[in-house]
Amino acid sequence: MTLSRAGSRSQSEPSTQTLAEALTALCAEVGIPFEEMLHTVEGALAAAYTRAFNPPGEVTVKLDTKTGALDVRSRVVRPDGTAIVAELPSEDFKRMAAQTAKHAVLRHIHDLERDKVLRDVAEHRGELASGIVDRIESGIVYVDLGRAEGVMPPEEQIPGEPLQPGRPVLVVILDTQHNRRQAQVRVSRGARAFIHRLLEAEVPEIKAGTVQVRAIAREPGLRTKIAVSSTEPGLDPVGACVGPKGVRHRAILSELANEHVDIVPWSDDPEAFVAAALGPAKVERVTIDRVTRTATVLVPRGQLSLAIGRDGQNARLAAKLTGYRIDIKPSDAEAPLGEGT
């Protein structure tokens, strides 16, 4: 039997000589250093010998690559610290040695290929990737990304989004994760990075650097606020992101189902930035306390519920976007009617 990657089996029992020859040929084929593969095989043979015969002490196996002979030894440490090394019989073990070595080689090749995929994927961390929903188990969505499997836990999903096996899905790559069977990466549709990359894919000015995404606040499945600025005089960053007749904005919304997306202008002036962040509500005045990082906002009474938002969502996201605690008051009253965020 040769050490075929396809795992073929010959009808006659192999000799250890064919094992050594096949190992050399396979290393040349797949480009793995011979010493690395030999170390893997010898370790697997030692573990297999221990399971089969359960000798005392630590078992080591050396494969003579010229003759194919196996040198099996055990090392036992006495209570006084001295070590006794004894040669162990290998005749009965030779019959399983080739099969054990083949499995070790194939497993090692698989691990190397998996690690290479993970290294390649790691270079694309934070980027968008398209895949197919493979299955959903215990709330975790598994995505077929081709060479790797995407794993999207519940906290990285958009709440309530109906993902179904066999349907295409767009995700952002977060990081790699350990799995002995295959290359797996953690992916997300609920992260702020997903919104950033969606916007980047739709707005050429962002890739060109003339429009910059300065901040994102998001509650997945409900609402997202994005602050953008321009590095080019005369270029409206919000208009660039919305696109002609809103085409770019609609493309983003179509990927996010029912999630609302507000795009607002970034400003170094905190009063102006807080007022913009509370859109679509109209703001009359903003007073900033830089010591407590609190913004007191006056709005027309008819705009109060819009400024606060359902369950305080609009004010809460505006606070996350700007970094200020926001107190909203009607312009015709002194006491705040909305809870500070």
Does the pLDDT of residue 27 top 90, yes or no?
Answer: no
* Integer Cα distance of 329 and 340 in angstroms: 10
In 179-305, beta strands by DSSP E: 184-188, 211-219, 223-230, 260-265, 285-289, 294-299
Is the pLDDT higher at 118 or at 224?
224
pLDDT tens per residue, range 141-172: 999 998 889 999 999 999 989 899 999 999 99
Specify the CATH class of 191-266 in words. alpha beta
CATH 3.30.1480.10 segments of the chain: 16-122
Q: Say whether domain 16-122 belongs to CATH 3.40.190.10.
A: no
What local confidence, expressed as pLDDT, does residue 261 receive?
Answer: 95
d(CA 259, CA 76): 66
State the pLDDT confidence band at 11, using cuts at 50, 70 and 90.
very low
Q: Look at the domain 269-341 and name its fold.
A: GMP Synthetase; Chain A, domain 3 (3.30.300)
- Average pLDDT over the chain reads 86
Which residue in 159, 176, 162, 170 sits closest to 121, CA to CA?
176
Give the residue range(s) of CATH 3.30.300.20 domains in the chain: 191-266, 269-341
Question: What is the number of residues in the chain?
Answer: 341
Which CATH fold topology does 128-187 show?
OB fold (Dihydrolipoamide Acetyltransferase, E2P) (2.40.50)
257 — pLDDT class (breaks 50, 70, 90)? confident
Q: What is the mean pLDDT of residues 181-197?
A: 92
- pLDDT tens digits along 232-256: 999 999 999 999 999 999 999 999 9
Phi/psi of residue 9, each to 5°?
-125, 130
Q: Is the pLDDT of residue 19 over 70?
A: no
- Single pTM value for the model: 0.70
Mean pLDDT of 27-32: 76
| Statement: residue 36 has pLDDT above 60 | yes
Q: Where in the chain is the domain with CATH 2.40.50.140?
A: 128-187
Q: Which residues of 77-114 are buried (b: 16+ CB within 10 A; e: fewer)?
A: eeeeeeeeeeebebeebbeebbbbbbebbbebbeeeeb
**Which CB contacts under 8 angstroms, 24+ apart, belong to 249-257?**
251/202, 252/195, 252/198, 252/199, 252/202, 255/170, 255/198, 256/158, 256/198, 256/224, 257/158, 257/161, 257/221
pLDDT number for residue 113: 76
